[in-house]
Amino acid sequence: MNKNTASRMAELTINGKTHLMPILEGTEGCKAIDISNLLRDTGCITLDSGFKNTGSCASSITYLDGDKGIFRYRGYDIEDLAENCVFIEVAYLLLHGKLPNAEELDNFKMLLEGFALVHEDMIHFFDHFPSNASPMSILSVMVNTLCNFYIEMGDDPLTNIDITAARLISKIRTIAAFSYKKSLGQPLVYPRQDLCYCGNFLNMMFHKPVRNYEVRPELVSTLNKLLILHADHEQNCSTSTVRLVGSAGVNLYASISAAISALWGPLHGGANEAVIDMLEGIYADDSNFEKYIRKAKDRSDPFKLSGFGHRVYKTFDPRGKIIKKACDDILLSLNVSDPLLDIARELEEIVLKDDYFIERHLYPNVDFYSGIIYRAIGIPANMFTVMFAMGRLPGWISQWKEMREDPGTKIGRPRQLYIGEPRREFVPLAERP
């Protein structure tokens, strides 16, 4: 960030008095007006519902430009990372600010392998969740509980952050797979040392004592891409939650647990599950595409096409381009027969040719394709958001780490505009009408 702002100031005039505020500039030319002293100098605050125009921090992790469809981790284009890296390479990049060399990657792999198991006492916790418990609620609880079993963070949480990060990234896939197995009443499948990160997860999910699971390379490659695309996405709801909760000084596990709860929302991480729900609704209505396209165009109708458009991107989501190709490749490779996947393809084709959606930049986004891929792989819809959390974890940890390392970090404390009753005289109980 360019801190030399003496010659670049914004002017704000209130009641005839002009106040000067520095204009800061990021490395990619994005600008921000520093209003840190606004309340002190003017007696006013800003009101920005949803924080659409408010920067909560300065960060060096992720850059995106929604107008131009640019998305980068630590300066690397997402297209290059998705094409040439595996997920744990990108996790290392986010955590350390650089891509690992061969030795660093091997050491990181060894850490992940060493931390893959969940403490045996924690496994008993799964027995006490109802069989219909949401995998996201289980994930949030189990991640929060890790702080009771692994206390290496101690008084200085940054001292062993590499160990804690590796522990979380490794164990989250085991916890996720175990919660799925428990929901089915199937025996747990433990991680294997001979399998890679994504291969291990697939095996823990789908292996059965009566039927071996073949870890297919194309599935591993596709899962790597999905997790890479989800690894971070600037200051979204769950990432902001990590920073806000973490600013109170709580441990990393609690901050990540809070982020998982935020991601659980249907307006955030639940979007890919909503895509499948939408496709099922269209299928149940005899695949009446015209009806649903008409409903999506009707402003008075609350129906929205799930998986199309994005709050940030005003052009094609760059992740969508990558995941569309991955989706086409994996469906061809698996040769699956699923009416919902057929509906998804036809709906995509209709929307991409319709001027209404083209003019409004309502292109298929990453959530549209990820739900289709997960379904093709065999992952149930109630696990979709868990998959999102697995991918987003390195970004959450990196954001928490950056926040804790910043000497300017203060506990998050947004202001409000009070619109309630003015002062009222207290009336004793016996005198109230």
Q: pLDDT tens across 16-33, in order?
A: 999 999 999 999 888 999
Whether residue 311 sits in one domain with residue 167: yes
Whether residue 143 sits in one domain with residue 32: no
Whether residue 211 is contained in a domain is answered as: yes
Could you read off the pLDDT of 131-171 as tens digits, one per residue?
Answer: 889 999 999 999 999 999 987 656 677 778 889 999 999 99
Whether residue 197 sits in one domain with residue 139: yes
Residue 273 pLDDT: 85
- The number of CA neighbours under 13 Å toward the Cβ of 253 is 22
Instruction: Give the residue numbers spanning the domain of 25.
Output: 9-55
Whether residue 151 sits in one domain with residue 205: yes
Give the number of other Cβ atoms within 10 Å of residue 75's Cβ: 13
Q: Which residues of the chain have pLDDT under 50?
A: 2-6
Displacement of CA 329 from its chain's centroid (Å): 24
Whether residue 264 sits in one domain with residue 150: yes
Whether residue 235 sits in one domain with residue 268: yes
The SS3 of residue 364 is: strand
Whether residue 232 sits in one domain with residue 100: yes
Whether residue 359 is contained in a domain is answered as: yes
Whether residue 303 sits in one domain with residue 164: yes
Phi and psi at residue 308, to the nearest 5°: -125, 135
Q: Where are the alpha helices (DSSP H) in 185-251?
A: 197-206, 217-230, 237-246
Whether residue 250 is contained in a domain is answered as: yes
Question: How many Å apart are CA 33 and CA 21, to the nearest integer?
Answer: 7
Asked about 285 being catalytic, the answer comes back as: no
Contacts of 16 (CB under 8 A, 6+ apart): none
Whether residue 431 is contained in a domain is answered as: no
Asked about 338 being catalytic, the answer comes back as: no
Residue 7 pLDDT: 56
Residue 152 pLDDT: 66
Whether residue 323 sits in one domain with residue 277: yes
Q: Which of 155, 310, 317, 354 is catalytic?
A: 310
Contacts of 10 (CB under 8 A, 6+ apart): 20, 21, 22, 23, 33
Whether residue 130 sits in one domain with residue 49: no
Whether residue 72 is contained in a domain is answered as: no
Q: What is the CATH number of the domain that holds 29?
A: 2.20.28
Whether residue 167 sits in one domain with residue 286: yes
| Structural domain total, the chain | 2
Whether residue 310 is contained in a domain is answered as: yes
Residue 153 pLDDT: 59
Q: Specify the pTM.
A: 0.92
